[in-house]
């Protein structure tokens, strides 16, 4: 049964990419809905399988680890696959209604969308270093394609800047892979970890890890290297920016986290961990401050992504040199943060899209009076904002709570400041938008009312992010399932 | 003054980077690799259905990489085409009527096609294979295109998109077939390994050539304006 | 100091030169070429390092092949984007245009492709 | 999942579901919305009543599941929570009736009533919370659900008040989260337990525990409007009357005070807090707040701002009562939680009536209002005298028990504070009463609205009268079994028993 | 015992329930006519009460206990009688402007006054005391003139401060006594270590109401501005509440406090003489009467001082104080009512009217065969210095005579001032009936009212004849002085 699921998971996105390439936008829309349903079912099935009897290794092409490529299907990976399924389905559904079918170039939206989805799945499940590189490339190029789709000069400039940053990041990562392959002779992550735990470790190799983390940080837009993200996510179409902010950025972080959890213990150092954590902290403060000052609504949400990404990098200091229990708690916290941020950010971008479409301008102060005539989208924007702020009962709060506990237990109390200040600052820019919409100067309803279903999707995502707070326990239970290597072929 | 400072800093960073890298390489060179992959490869080579090790790795052991890599190529193709908004790629005024080039083409194009064929066939036991053949084909296409020979299959229509997708979809179908047959994704059955790889190679060659050519030809001529989301108009 | 290590160190040199070029150069196409330089440096290093044990190791060469194809795809996409960007805004660098709606400049005589 | 575990959840769900349904209702679904509102309020009172009866019999209502690996979500109905739950359930019904009348034809009422019942749901959650984690959860939900109510009118002033409100409450929330997380890290997940946890704690923990206590009190102090943190309350008066009535008399302000009660009583425990010398500091802050609030109230021209400052000083009574350490003083403090709620909501209802019917917002425009609106003015006068602490009303009971409690413990300066604050209360309430009854109406009402026979619409008139009667009864029949005073004595008895 | 309970409850509840009459403007006139009916149940309780009448109200406040003992019975009689006569007077006096408001505050003050007399537990005593004070404010500012508002403000400010002092004192006392009943307080205060503070607070608190010097400022302001029936009640019954407060809370009979006795004597003396001196300077008749009340309260303070100083005599002194309170209340009530009467045109009726107005005044001064004489005699033989142990006891008789002279002078001043602005005309029947009943009750009814049991039983009329001269000479001296002053005034005019 698991084989069928795995094959389905790998096959469907690529097959649908090709299928949608051959048809135009309208027919592509119908095909995509079908594909989304299949993908959702497969992801759920896989999640259930892993939830019942633990993670397993999936050998592609039947070849054993060092020679062939293996896919590591453990709790964490499956949780991310399911998350991708949910968010991508929502964004796809929203895009199918939001995008104007008559434009000629929109026919190419669906193939790129499916390739992106395939790339994401490849990265979540990847167990082989070089395979991860190719997956990353797949995602980057698809994302750049989506950003540049039908765009004007600004969109293209953002796309190029994004492409350059992504490529440089990938190459840095590839350089690291080359060094590790040179040292260990194997490309499989599990193999390298086993070797590291058993044999003595040459000191020099930490440079390779630093390189890889640097590359991945550049692709995740960590603080000093976040220049490319706001224009790219800000200018792209709303469903695209939702996809980018919620999932694409997380892919490179996911790889960095896996590397850190497996190789960090031996190759990393306390100074490196604290440096990355510090960069994360600055990102939270600086991102929120810039988000507060943006004039355009989508730029606000984009900079908020930069800030929220800062939280993720707190994982590094909190899992280095601490007891397993604390490290597990930190991992759970970060997983929750990733999931709730993905859901909330997607909801925020989609509802921002709705608001912009109805108001006719993407400036924040043009939102006056929306609260009276278009409360539903605004309400989902608010709910998503609440989750970003990490206020109860949302998932953001559960994540923040776990991170607070982990940083307290590990004695690194200075992360408390970052966590709390981040919450407050994000409250600042969310409520600034809210305040702008509450101004009630016009009685006439001159707003364009988007179709009902466009407004429902962000609300569903926001409610999921809200519900996550209450349902944190089962989600986390699967994530931290012990990984039994080698079961199943 | 600022420029000089910027350059100086950048030079310093690059030198540090180079130094660190060199040091790491020197240390790695010092210690033997614990896992001897080539030896392992040699043992399984016969099971891969191809005698040339690189092609075996490419199309059998790490065939998933190749599949995704072709995907990357197709994405580049799609993105390239999506840029071109003209109805036809074949812009009439791009055609030059230079008789010398025309004559030269008559000699070179067939030669290149034969070369591509050879490269494709040699892949199984000598260096060569789908990528090299595809590249040569694309080069010949470019030459013909510059020479002014109309290539209507390059017009953005069903044909172009089908060409792009052909190679990738065949590869995908083969991969899924093996999965449905019970073994893992992309696991060719022992006996059919060689013919399957050959089919994939051939189809890939065409697709790669098509993608590269499409990318070259997609002249960014644009007439309709599409305002950025939320902009006026 | 087997000859393969020589390739590795050459790769290192190429990488650092490429990095310098990539960061400093403003013009997009030249930046792209610098990127390709880094790429080949990395590939050289990968193969060089793996070969230090004497006989050539096919796996990195296959990887390099794949890497090259990916690099080609990325470069091709970049070129298309740059040409389109140039067509739309007449800019060859990523700097923000001064005036918000800068009208694309009149095409210079030697530009290949159809006059606008 | 027996009935006793689900009861608190039902109590919580009544208003949660009500708010969801109301949000979905279209704007013109007026009748349906009112029916839902009232039904939900009535159902909630019934549920709370059953729980009160059950708790009196000693039954245990508890619902728990662990929401996040290290912390669990606990809803528990004990005597103390029933006090606050009962108060907010009762006053929610009255305020709903009032709000229906008040927002007769104003725009987006669905949004208003949706957030209104959401806010009461979070208040109910705060009352029923079984541990600090759940308490914090509902504490923050309260902030979020009250913000839209404060900025309901959308005027720039309201928005500024809303922003100010958020800055205060969110910062307070962050500090509280820090404290709870630290406490959680230090001693693990603490359920509220009568008698508190730190009775015999080893002295080494005293240092951090004191700092945590200060942080907890600061976090809770923001909502309880203790002096340095009270800035948001007067400005939030710009909200519509039912909002300022329910929120600033019952929900928000009491949540802070209730939190402080929970922390001092059932987390630290009175003996431990006394041993660590925490109570004296708190008592000083509370005393200063009482005096400061009353003096500031003297200089307010706007009626609702004066009531706001009076709220600030009155809530500090509760905190002061806590610090009196003896059973009597604590009883005084707790019973004031109920009494002040009833009295203050009466005053806000009347202020709302004056604003809605006569368009009067300033005190000096109130001349002769007694003749024009006798019903409301009688309620206001009773409320005013209650606040002053004139016997036989509810305020007197509180001051009497707190006074004797203070003397029993030997803190005589507390009696002086009580006397001084009663004088100040008299100083800022009696002139209003004078204007109501004895001043002649010398200029026309700013913009008067007629409702036929009654002085104002029935929806607006009955709630203040009912709460006024409640207040008088709470005062006169203080010793009747289920009166606030005897219920608090039950709580203190159980608290002291351990 | 049980039969009395509903009566006691009715006595207090009837005025409270009557407030409902104010709901409709149409019932306004009905309310006016039932004003005198309100105190009737209380009068019945006063007349028929046995010494152990009581009503247990566990639910009320902190456990209520209402009841009447001998001391309270006299106060109750005085209060009920006075409110009855003034109620009748009010029917005629009141105009329709703000009538309902007046009736509501009248009823509330009456309820407070009656309640505090009958309350035996601290909570209800203090509740009714506060109700009377705050409702009294309504009566004081009824006219609504600027002067009335100013007087009201002063009245309220001082009253609230007094209330707070009482609250603090009672708080401490109850906390020491451990029980909520009034009768346990004196014992607790006697043994309290901070006894001086508690006694000071209670003395000052109730002193504001009783008009002690330096705490009396509100009295001369409030009385003239209040409507006549209100000022009559205010001066007659409400001031006595302060006195009652002292009697039931201070530790008489527990411990003798000579020091406190001396202090109070001085205060009483200053009150009596100072009040009279200031009274002479007033132009308006009601102001003069107000100061006369202050001086009379000064005299009563002397007796309280004596009781405090020598605890063994306190029971007898209580009885004399009660008698004096009764006498002063009724007399002062009728005097105040007379200020609002218009003099009849006819010469004979005019002279009769003057005589009847003067008689209560002369009674105050202690004319033989009047209630005043009896009160003065009882006071004289109870304040004999020999029996009392404290230093200033010797001056008491001298002070009493000085007091008598001062009172007589004040009466002449009152008559002169009344004569100056008296108007001739007809009075409405309500006014006649009210005034007549007040005067009759002061002069004649006094003798039939049940006297406080503690008094030594004596053939009072025979004693008066014997002591006639000692009673008369202060009156004659005062009349002589008044005549001289009148001559000087005539010549200067």
Is a pLDDT exceeding 70 seen at residue E4? Answer: no
Q: How remote is the C-alpha of E140 from its chain's centroid? A: 17
Q: pLDDT above 90 covers what percent of chain E?
A: 0
Tokens coding A277: 């954590």
Residue numbers in D near E141 (CB within 8 A): 434, 438
Distance CA C36, CA A171 (A): 10
DSSP labels for A116-162?
A: HHHHHHHHHHB-BHHHHHHHHHHHHHHHHHHHHTT--HHHHHHHHHH
CB atoms B35 and A148 under 8 Å: no
pTM of the prediction? 0.83
CB atoms C24 and B10 under 8 Å: yes
User: What is the per-residue pLDDT for A173?
Assistant: 94
Which chains does chain A touch, 3 or more C-beta pairs < 8 A?
A: B, C, D
Distance CA D158, CA D152 (A): 8
Residues E69-81, mean pLDDT to the nearest whole number: 85
Tell me which of D68, D75, D149 to substitute to probe the interface with A (most A C-beta atoms closer than 10 Å). D68
Distance CA E131, CA E180 (A): 19
Residues E292-304, mean pLDDT to the nearest whole number: 88
Residue numbers in E near D438 (CB within 8 A): 138, 141, 144, 149, 152
How does residue B128 score in pLDDT terms, banded at 50, 70 and 90? confident
Which residues of D lie closer than 8 Å to E, measured between beta carbons? 370, 385, 390-392, 396-397, 399-400, 403-404, 407-408, 415, 419, 422-423, 426, 430, 434, 437-438, 440, 475-480
Please give the C-alpha separations between residue D326 and each of B216, D193, D216, D254, E236, in angstroms, as whole numbers.
89, 19, 22, 22, 44
How does residue A119 score in pLDDT terms, banded at 50, 70 and 90? very high
User: What is the per-residue pLDDT for C105?
Assistant: 46
Question: Could you report the per-residue pLDDT of A341-366, keeping only the tens digit for each?
Answer: 999 999 999 999 998 888 888 888 88
DSSP H helices in chain B? 2-30, 37-45, 53-56, 63-83, 99-122, 130-147, 158-180, 193-217
Residue extents of the structural domains in chain E: 4-492
Half-sphere exposure of C53 (CA within 13 A, CB side): 17
Check if the beta carbon of residue D277 is closer than 8 Å to that of residue D303. Answer: no
User: What is the per-residue pLDDT for B222?
Assistant: 44
Nearest CA in chain D to A469: D67
Helix (H, G, I), strand (E, B) or coil at A72: strand
Residues D426-446, mean pLDDT to the nearest whole number: 84
User: Which uninterrupted H or E stretch holds A56?
Assistant: strand A56-59
CB atoms D69 and A404 under 8 Å: no
Question: Which 8-state DSSP code applies to residue A195?
Answer: H
**Is there a domain that residue A215 lies in?**
no
Check if the beta carbon of residue A124 is closer than 8 Å to that of residue A114. Answer: no
Residue extents of the structural domains in chain D: 277-498
Q: How remote is the C-alpha of D239 from its chain's centroid? A: 16
Question: Could you report the per-residue pLDDT of A34-49, keeping only the tens digit for each?
Answer: 999 999 999 999 988 8
CB atoms A14 and B168 under 8 Å: yes
Name the domain count of chain A.
1
Q: How many CB pairs under 8 A join A and D?
A: 99
Residues E475-488, mean pLDDT to the nearest whole number: 83
CB atoms D479 and E172 under 8 Å: no
A403 at C interface, C-beta within 8 A: no
Residue numbers in C near B83 (CB within 8 A): 80-81, 84
How many of the other CB atoms lie within 10 Å of CB of E187?
15
Tell me what ipTM this predicted complex has: 0.79
Report the gap between the CA of B25 and the closest CA in chain A (Å): 7
* Mean pLDDT over each residue of chain C, to the nearest integer: 79
Distance CA A341, CA A308 (A): 7
Is a pLDDT exceeding 70 seen at residue E302? Answer: yes
Selected residue with higher pLDDT from D147 and E313: D147
Nearest CA in chain A to D73: A470
Nearby residues of A419 by Cβ (< 8 Å), 6 or more positions away:
A311, A314, A390, A400, A403, A404, A407
Question: Could you report the per-residue pLDDT of D363-410, keeping only the tens digit for each?
Answer: 888 888 888 888 888 899 999 988 888 877 888 888 888 888 888 888
CB atoms A60 and B31 under 8 Å: no
3-state SS record for chain D: CCHHHHHHHHHHHHHHHHHHHHHHCCCCCHHHHHHHHHHHHHHHHHHHHHHHHHHHHCCCEEEEEEEECCEEEEEEECHHHHHHHHHHHHHHHHHHHHHHHHCCCCCCHHHHHHHHHHHHHHHHHHHHECEHHHHHHHHHHHHHHHHHHHCCCCCHHHHHHHHHHHHHHHHHHHHHHHHHHHHHHHHCCCECCCCCCCCCCCHHHHHHHHHHHHHHHHHHHHHHCCHHHCCHHHHHHHCCHHHHHHHHHHHHHHHHHHHHHHHHHHHHCHHHHHHCCHHHHHHHHHHHHHHHHHHHHHCCCEHHHHHHHHHHHHHHHHHHHHCCCCHHHHHHHHHHHHHHHHHHHHHHHHHHHHHHHHCCCEHHHCCCHHHHCHHHHHHHHHHHHHHHCCCCCHHHHHHHHHHHHHHHHCCHHHHHHHHHHHHHHHHHHHHHHHHHHHCCCCCCCCCCCCECCECCCHHHHHHHHHHHHHHHHHHHCCCCCCCHHHHHHHHHHHHHHC
D143 at A interface, C-beta within 8 A: yes
CB atoms A112 and B79 under 8 Å: yes
A223 at D interface, C-beta within 8 A: no
Distance CA B230, CA D273 (A): 59
Is a pLDDT exceeding 70 seen at residue D414? Answer: yes
Which pairs from C61-65 meet CB under 8 Å and 24+ separation? C61/B54, C62/B54, C62/B57, C62/B58, C62/B62, C63/A130, C63/A181, C63/A187, C63/B62, C63/B65, C65/B54, C65/B58, C65/B131
Is a pLDDT exceeding 60 seen at residue C104? Answer: no
Is a pLDDT exceeding 90 seen at residue E353? Answer: no
Residues B73-78, mean pLDDT to the nearest whole number: 90
Q: Which of A130, A137, A182 sits opposite C74 (nearest CB)?
A: A137
Residue numbers in E near D426 (CB within 8 A): 156, 160
Picking from E298, E292, E258, the residue whose alpha carbon sits closest to that of residue E414 is E292
Question: Could you report the per-residue pLDDT of E454-463, keeping only the tens digit for each?
Answer: 666 667 677 7
User: Which uninterrupted H or E stretch holds C23?
Assistant: helix C3-24
Picking from D372, D371, D347, D350, the residue whose alpha carbon sits closest to that of residue D297 is D347
B65 at A interface, C-beta within 8 A: yes
Residue numbers in C near B221 (CB within 8 A): 87, 113-114
CB atoms A108 and B82 under 8 Å: yes
* Mean pLDDT over each residue of chain B, to the nearest integer: 79
Q: Which of A393, A435, A470 sits opposite D163 (nearest CB)?
A: A435
Q: pLDDT above 90 covers what percent of chain A?
A: 38
Q: Kindly tell me the number of DSSP H helices and DSSP E strands found in chain C.
A: 3, 0
Report the gap between the CA of B33 and the closest CA in chain A (Å): 5
Question: Could you report the per-residue pLDDT of E199-216, keeping only the tens digit for each?
Answer: 888 889 998 988 888 888
User: What is the per-residue pLDDT for A302?
Assistant: 93
How does residue E28 score in pLDDT terms, banded at 50, 70 and 90? confident
Distance CA E104, CA D122 (A): 44
User: What is the per-residue pLDDT for C116?
Assistant: 33
* Mean pLDDT over each residue of chain D, to the nearest integer: 85
Q: How many CB pairs under 8 A join A and B?
A: 202
Selected residue with higher pLDDT from E188 and D498: E188
* Mean pLDDT over each residue of chain E, to the nearest integer: 82
User: What is the per-residue pLDDT for B26?
Assistant: 85
- Enumerate the β-bridge partners of residue E119: E66
Question: Could you report the per-residue pLDDT of D57-93, keeping only the tens digit for each?
Answer: 888 888 888 888 778 888 888 888 888 888 888 888 8
Distance CA E360, CA E443 (A): 7
Q: Which of D143, D154, D185 sits opposite A439 (nearest CB)?
A: D154
* Mean pLDDT over each residue of chain A, to the nearest integer: 87
Distance CA A170, CA A172 (A): 5
* C with E: touching (≥3 Cβ pairs within 8 Å): no
Check if the beta carbon of residue B14 is closer than 8 Å to that of residue C20. Answer: yes
**Is there a domain that residue A366 lies in?**
yes
Which chains does chain C touch, 3 or more C-beta pairs < 8 A?
A: A, B
**Is there a domain that residue B36 lies in?**
no
Question: Could you report the per-residue pLDDT of E383-401, keeping only the tens digit for each?
Answer: 776 666 667 777 778 888 8
Q: Over the range B51-88, which residues count as b (16 or more CB within 10 Å of their CB) and which as e?
A: ebbbbbbbbbbbbbbbbbbbbbbbbbbbbbbbbbbbee
Tell me which of A164, A208, A211 to substitute to probe the interface with C (most C C-beta atoms closer than 10 Å). A164
Selected residue with higher pLDDT from E1 and C86: C86
Is a pLDDT exceeding 60 seen at residue B226? Answer: no
Report the gap between the CA of C109 and the closest CA in chain B (Å): 15
Is a pLDDT exceeding 70 seen at residue B179? Answer: yes
CB atoms A404 and D154 under 8 Å: no
Is a pLDDT exceeding 50 seen at residue B87? Answer: no
How many of the other CB atoms lie within 10 Å of CB of D473?
16
Specify whether domain C3-89 bears CATH 1.10.287.3510: yes
Name the domain count of chain B.
1
Domain span at A398: 290-481
**Is there a domain that residue A99 lies in?**
no
Q: pLDDT above 70 covers what percent of chain D?
A: 99
User: Which residues 105-144 on chain B approach chain A with CB closer than 8 angstroms?
Assistant: none
Picking from D477, D181, D417, the residue whose alpha carbon sits closest to that of residue E167 is D417
User: What is the per-residue pLDDT for A199?
Assistant: 66
Check if the beta carbon of residue E309 is closer than 8 Å to that of residue E391. Answer: no
Tell me which of E100, E106, E130, E133 to substitute to probe the interface with D (most D C-beta atoms closer than 10 Å). E130
**Is there a domain that residue A201 lies in?**
no
Residue numbers in D near E25 (CB within 8 A): none
Half-sphere exposure of E437 (CA within 13 A, CB side): 16
Selected residue with higher pLDDT from D454 and D280: D280
Residue extents of the structural domains in chain C: 3-89
Tokens coding A431: 């409520």
C14 at A interface, C-beta within 8 A: no
Phi-psi region of D443 (alpha: psi -120 to 50; beta: other; left: phi over 0): beta
User: What is the per-residue pLDDT for D111?
Assistant: 81
Q: Over the range D173-210, which residues count as b (16 or more CB within 10 Å of their CB) and which as e?
A: bbbbbbbbbbbbbebeebbbbbbbbbeebeeeebeebe
Q: Which of A327-336, B10-19, B45-54, E100-109 is the least confident region? A: B45-54
C64 at A interface, C-beta within 8 A: no
Residue numbers in B near C23 (CB within 8 A): 10
Cα B114–Cα B116–Cα B122 angle in degrees, nearest 5: 100
């Amino acid at each position: 049964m698991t084989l069928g699921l795995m094959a389905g998971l790998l096959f469907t996105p690529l097959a649908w990419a090709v299928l949608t390439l051959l048809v135009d936008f309208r027919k592509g829309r119908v095909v995509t809905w079908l594909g989304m349903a299949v993908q959702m079912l497969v992801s759920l099935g896989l999640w259930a399988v892993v939830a019942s009897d633990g993670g397993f290794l999936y050998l592609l092409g039947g070849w054993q680890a060092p020679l062939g490529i293996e896919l590591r299907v453990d709790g964490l990976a499956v949780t991310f696959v399911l998350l991708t399924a949910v968010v991508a389905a929502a964004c796809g559904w929203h895009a199918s209604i939001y995008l104007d079918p008559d434009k000629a170039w929109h026919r190419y939206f669906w193939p790129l969308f499916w390739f992106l989805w395939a790339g994401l799945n490849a990265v979540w499940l990847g167990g082989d270093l070089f395979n991860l590189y190719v997956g990353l490339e797949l995602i980057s190029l698809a994302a750049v394609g989506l950003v540049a789709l039908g765009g004007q000069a600004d969109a293209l400039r953002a796309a190029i800047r994004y492409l350059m940053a992504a490529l440089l990041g990938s190459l840095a990562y590839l350089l690291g892979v080359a060094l590790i392959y040179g040292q260990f002779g194997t490309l499989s992550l599990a193999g390298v970890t086993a070797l590291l735990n058993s044999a003595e470790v040459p000191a020099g190799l930490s440079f390779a890890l630093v390189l890889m983390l640097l590359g991945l940080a550049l692709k995740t837009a960590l603080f000093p290297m976040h220049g490319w993200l706001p224009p790219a996510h800000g200018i792209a179409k709303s469903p695209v920016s939702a996809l980018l902010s919620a999932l694409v950025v997380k892919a490179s972080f996911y790889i960095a986290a896996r590397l850190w959890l497996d190789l960090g213990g031996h190759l990393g150092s306390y100074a490196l961990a604290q440096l990355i954590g510090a960069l994360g902290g600055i990102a939270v403060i600086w991102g929120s401050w810039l988000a507060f000052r943006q004039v355009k609504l989508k730029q606000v949400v984009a900079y908020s992504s930069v800030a929220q990404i800062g939280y993720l990098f707190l994982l590094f200091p909190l899992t280095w040199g601490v007891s397993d229990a604390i490290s597990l708690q930190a991992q759970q916290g970060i997983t929750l943060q990733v999931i709730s941020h993905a859901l909330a950010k997607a909801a925020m971008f989609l509802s921002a899209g709705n608001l912009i479409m109805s108001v006719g301008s993407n400036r924040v102060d043009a939102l006056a009076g929306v609260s009276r005539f278009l409360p539903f989208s605004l309400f989902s924007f608010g709910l998503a904002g609440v989750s970003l702020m990490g206020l109860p009962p949302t998932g953001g709060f559960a994540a923040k709570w776990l991170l607070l506990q982990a940083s307290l237990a590990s004695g690194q109390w200075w992360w408390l400041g970052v966590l709390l200040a981040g919450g407050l600052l994000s409250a600042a820019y969310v409520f600034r938008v809210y305040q702008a919409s509450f101004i009630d100067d016009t009685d006439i309803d001159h707003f364009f009312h988007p179709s009902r279903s466009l407004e429902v999707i962000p609300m569903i995502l926001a409610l999921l992010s809200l519900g996550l707070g209450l349902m944190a326990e089962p989600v986390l239970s699967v994530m931290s399932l012990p990984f039994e290597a080698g079961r199943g072929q | 003054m600022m420029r000089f400072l910027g350059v100086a800093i950048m030079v310093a960073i690059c030198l540090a980077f180079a130094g660190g890298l060199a040091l790491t390489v020197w240390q790695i060179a010092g210690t033997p690799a614990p896992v001897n992959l080539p030896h392992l490869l040699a043992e399984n080579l016969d099971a891969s259905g191809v005698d040339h090790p690189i092609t075996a790795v490419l199309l059998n052991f790490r065939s998933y990489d190749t599949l995704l890599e072709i995907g990357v190529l197709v994405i580049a193709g799609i993105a390239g085409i999506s840029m071109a908004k003209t109805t036809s790629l074949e812009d009439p005024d791009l055609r030059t009527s230079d008789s010398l080039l025309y004559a030269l083409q008559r000699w070179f194009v067939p030669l290149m096609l034969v070369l591509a064929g050879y490269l494709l066939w040699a892949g199984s036991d000598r260096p060569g294979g789908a990528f090299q053949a595809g590249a040569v084909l694309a080069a010949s296409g470019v030459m013909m295109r510059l020479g002014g020979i109309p290539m209507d299959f390059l017009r953005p229509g069903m044909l172009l998109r089908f060409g792009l997708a052909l190679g990738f979809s065949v590869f995908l179908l083969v991969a899924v077939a093996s999965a449905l047959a019970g073994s893992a994704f992309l696991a060719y059955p022992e006996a059919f390994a060689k013919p399957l790889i050959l089919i994939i190679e051939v189809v890939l060659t065409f697709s790669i050539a098509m993608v590269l050519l499409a990318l070259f030809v997609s002249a960014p001529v644009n007439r309709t304006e599409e305002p950025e989301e939320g902009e006026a108009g | 100091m087997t000859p393969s290590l020589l390739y590795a160190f050459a790769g290192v040199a190429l990488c650092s030169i490429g990095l310098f070029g990539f960061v400093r150069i403003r013009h997009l196409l030249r930046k792209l070429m610098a990127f390709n330089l880094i790429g080949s440096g990395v590939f050289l290093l990968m193969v060089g390092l793996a070969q230090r044990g004497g006989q050539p190791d096919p796996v990195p060469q296959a990887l390099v092949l794949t890497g090259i194809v990916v690099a080609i795809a990325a470069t091709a996409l970049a070129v298309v984007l740059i040409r389109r960007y140039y067509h739309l805004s007449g800019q060859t660098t990523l700097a923000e245009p001064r005036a918000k709606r800068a009208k694309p400049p009149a095409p210079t005589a030697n530009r290949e492709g159809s006059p606008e | 999942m027996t009935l006793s575990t689900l009861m608190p959840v039902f109590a919580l769900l009544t208003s949660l579901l009500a708010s969801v349904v109301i949000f979905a209702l279209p704007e013109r679904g007026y009748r349906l919305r009112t029916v839902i509102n009232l039904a939900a309020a009535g159902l909630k009172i019934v549920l709370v009543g059953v729980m009160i009866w059950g708790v009196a019999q000693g039954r245990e209502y508890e619902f728990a599941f662990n929401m996040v690996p290290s912390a669990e979500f606990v809803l528990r109905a004990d005597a103390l929570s029933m006090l606050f739950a009962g108060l907010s359930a009762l006053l929610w019904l009255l305020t709903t009736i009032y709000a229906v009348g008040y927002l007769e034809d104003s725009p987006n009422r669905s949004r208003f009533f949706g957030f209104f019942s959401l806010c009461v749901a979070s208040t109910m959650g705060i009352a029923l919370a079984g541990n600090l984690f759940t308490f914090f959860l509902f504490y923050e939900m309260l902030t979020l659900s009250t913000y839209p109510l404060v900025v309901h009118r959308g005027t720039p002033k309201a928005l500024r008040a809303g922003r100010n409100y958020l800055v205060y409450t969110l910062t307070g929330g962050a500090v509280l989260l820090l404290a709870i997380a630290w406490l959680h890290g230090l001693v693990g997940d603490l359920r509220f337990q009568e008698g508190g946890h730190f009775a015999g704690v080893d002295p080494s923990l005293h240092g951090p525990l004191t700092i945590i206590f200060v942080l907890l009190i600061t976090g809770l102090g923001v909502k309880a409007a203790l002096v340095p943190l009270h800035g948001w309350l007067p400005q939030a008066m710009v909200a519509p009357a039912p909002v300022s009535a329910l929120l600033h008399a019952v929900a928000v302000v009491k949540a802070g005070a209730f939190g402080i009660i929970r922390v001092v009583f059932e987390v630290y425990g009175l003996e431990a807090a006394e041993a660590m010398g925490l109570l004296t500091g708190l008592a000083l802050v509370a005393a200063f707040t009482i005096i400061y609030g009353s003096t500031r109230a003297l200089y307010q021209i706007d009626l609702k701002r004066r009531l706001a400052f009076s709220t600030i000083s009155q809530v500090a009574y509760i905190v002061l009562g806590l610090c009196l350490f003896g059973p009597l003083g604590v009883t005084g403090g707790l019973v004031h939680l109920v009494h002040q709620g009833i009295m203050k909501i009466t005053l806000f209802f009347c202020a709302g009536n004056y604003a809605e019917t006569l368009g009067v917002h300033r005190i000096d425009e109130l001349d002769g209002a007694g003749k024009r609106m006798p019903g409301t003015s009688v309620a206001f006068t009773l409320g005013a005298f209650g606040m002053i602490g004139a016997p036989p009303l509810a305020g007197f009971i509180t001051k009497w028990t707190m006074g004797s409690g203070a003397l029993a413990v030997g803190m005589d300066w507390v009696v002086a504070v009580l006397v001084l604050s009663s004088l100040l209360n008299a100083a800022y309430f009696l002139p209003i009463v004078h204007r109501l009854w004895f001043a002649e109406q010398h200029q026309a009402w700013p913009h008067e609205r007629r409702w036929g026979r009654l002085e104002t619409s029935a929806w607006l008139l009955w709630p203040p009268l009912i709460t006024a009667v409640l207040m008088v009864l709470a005062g006169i029949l203080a010793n009747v079994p289920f009166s606030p005073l005897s219920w608090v004595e039950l709580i203190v008895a159980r608290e002291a028993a351990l | 015992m049980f039969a009395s309970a509903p009566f006691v409850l009715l006595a207090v509840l009837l005025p409270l329930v009557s407030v409902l009459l104010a709901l409709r403007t149409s019932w306004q006139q009905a309310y006016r006519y039932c004003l005198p009916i309100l105190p009737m149940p209380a009068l019945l309780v006063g007349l028929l009460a046995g010494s152990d009448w009581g009503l247990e109200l566990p639910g009320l406040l902190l456990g209520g206990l209402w009841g009447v003992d001998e001391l309270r019975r006299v106060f109750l009689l005085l209060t009920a009688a006075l409110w009855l006569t003034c109620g009748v007077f009010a029917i005629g006096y009141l105009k329709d402007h703000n009538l309902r408001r007046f009736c509501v505050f009248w009823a509330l003050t009456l309820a407070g006054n009656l309640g505090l007399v009958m309350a035996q537990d601290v909570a209800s005593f203090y509740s009714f005391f506060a109700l009377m004070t705050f409702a009294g404010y309504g009566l004081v500012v009824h006219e609504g003139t600027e002067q009335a508002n100013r007087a009201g403000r002063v009245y309220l400010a001082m009253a609230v401060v007094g209330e707070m002092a009482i609250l603090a004192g009672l708080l401490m006392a109850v906390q020491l006594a451990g029980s909520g009943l009034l009768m346990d307080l004196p014992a607790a205060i006697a043994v309290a270590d901070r006894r001086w503070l508690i006694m000071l607070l209670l003395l000052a608190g109730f002193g504001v109401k009783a008009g002690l010097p330096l705490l009396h400022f509100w009295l001369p302001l409030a009385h003239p501005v209040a409507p006549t029936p209100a000022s009559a009640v205010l001066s007659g019954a409400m001031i006595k509440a302060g006195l009652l407060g002292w009697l039931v809370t201070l530790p008489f009979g527990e411990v003798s406090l000579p020091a406190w006795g001396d202090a109070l004597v001085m205060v009483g003396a200053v009150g009596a003489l100072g009040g009279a001196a200031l009274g002479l300077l007033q132009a308006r008749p009601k102001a003069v009467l107000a100061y006369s009340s202050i001086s009379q309260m000064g005299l009563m303070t002397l007796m309280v001082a004596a009781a405090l100083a020598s605890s063994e005599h306190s029971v007898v002194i209580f009885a004399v104080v009660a008698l004096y309170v009764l006498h002063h209340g009724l007399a002062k009530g009728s005097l105040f009512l007379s200020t609002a009467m218009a003099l009849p045109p006819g010469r004979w009726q005019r002279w009769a009217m003057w005589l009847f107005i003067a008689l209560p005044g002369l009674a105050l001064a202690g004319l033989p065969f009047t209630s005043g004489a009896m009160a003065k005699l009882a006071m004289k033989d109870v304040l004999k210095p020999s029996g009392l142990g404290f230093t200033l006891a010797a001056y008491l008789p001298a002070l009493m005579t000085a007091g008598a002279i001062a009172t007589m002078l004040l009466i002449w001043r009152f008559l002169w001032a009344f004569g100056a602005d008296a108007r001739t005309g007809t009075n409405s029947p309500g006014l006649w009936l009210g005034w007549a009943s007040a005067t009759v009750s002061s002069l004649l009814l006094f003798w039939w009212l049940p006297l406080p049991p503690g008094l030594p039983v004596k053939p009072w009329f025979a004693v008066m004849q014997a002591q006639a001269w000692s009673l008369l000479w202060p009156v004659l001296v005062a009349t002589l002085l008044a005549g001289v002053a009148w001559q000087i005034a005539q010549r200067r005019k």
